[in-house]
A = this chain, B = another copy of it.
Amino acid sequence: MAEEKQRRRRGGGRAGNAERRGTAVIDQMPWNPPVNIDRPTEPLTEEGVLAIHEGAMRILEEIGIEILNPEAVELFRAHGGSTINGENVRMGRDYVMEMVAQAPESWTITPRNPERTITIGGKHLNFGNVSSPPSYWDMEIGRKVTGTREMCANLLKLSQFFNCIHFVGGYPVEPQDIHASVRHLDVLYDKLTLTDKVAHAYCLGKERVEDVMEMVRIAGGHSDAEFEADPKMYSNINSTSPLKHDYPMLDGWIRLARRNQGLVVTPFTLAGAMAPVTMSGAVAQSLAEGLIAIVLAQIVRPGACCAIGTFTSNVDMKSGAPAFGTPEYMRATQMTGQLARFYKLPMRASGVCAANVPDAQATWETSNSLWSAVQAGANMVYHAAGWLEGGLIASPEKFVMDCEILQQIQRYMDPSLTATGPDEIAFDAIQEVGDQGHFFGIQHTQDRYTTAFYQPFLSDWRNYEAWEAAGAVWTAQRAHQTYKDIIASFEAPPMDEGIREELAAFVERRKSEGGAPTDF
Contacts and interface: CB of A to CB of B under 8 A. Distances in A.
B143 A418 contact: no
Contact of A362 (B65, B273, B314, B360): B360
A276 B359 contact: no
A412 B55 CA distance: 23
Contacts of A455: 316-318
A355 B460 contact: yes
Nearest to A326: B454
A404 to B, nearest CB: 7
A412 B330 CA distance: 8
A228 interface: no
A455 to B, nearest CB: 8
Interface string A342-372: 0000000000001111111111110110010
B450 A317 contact: yes
A423 B392 CA distance: 33
A52 interface: yes
A243 interface: yes
Contacts of A497: none
A420 B467 contact: no
Given A317-B449, A420-B48, A430 B280 contact: no
B3 A459 contact: no
Interface stretch (A91-99, A158-166, A473-481): A473-481
A173 interface: no
A462 interface: yes
B38 A424 contact: no
A85 interface: no
A359 B356 contact: no
A430 B63 contact: yes
A144 interface: yes
Contacts of A11: 1, 4
A242 interface: yes
A84 interface: no
Contact of A1 (B139, B371, B418, B464): B139
Q: Which of A371, A417, A436 has the most CB of B within 10 A?
A: A417
Contacts of A436: 242
A439 interface: yes
Contacts of A273: 438-440
B438 A274 contact: yes
Interface in A52-107: 52, 54-55, 58-59, 62-63, 65-66
A518 interface: no
8 contacts: A1-B140, A2-B140, A3-B477, A137-B464, A242-B436, A276-B424, A279-B418, A284-B430
Contact of A38 (B41, B65, B401, B439): B41
Interface of A: 1-8, 10-11, 37-39, 41-44, 47-48, 51-52, 54-55, 58-59, 62-63, 65-66, 135, 137, 139-144, 242-244, 271-281, 284-285, 314-321, 323, 326-328, 330-331, 334-335, 354-365, 367-368, 371, 389-390, 392-393, 401, 404-405, 408-409, 411-412, 414, 417-421, 423-427, 429-431, 433-436, 438-440, 444-445, 448-450, 452-455, 458-465, 467-468, 472, 474-477, 479
Contacts of A365: 459
A354 B281 CA distance: 41
B462 A321 contact: yes
Contacts of A2: 139-143
A407 to B, nearest CB: 9
Contacts of A472: 357
Contacts of A328: 417, 452-454
Contacts of A65: 435
Q: Which of A318, A356, A420, A479 has the most CB of B within 10 A?
A: A420
Nearest to A480: B3
A157 to B, nearest CB: 22
Contact of A420 (B51, B326, B361, B458): B51
Q: Which of A331, A365, A414, A450 has the most CB of B within 10 A?
A: A331
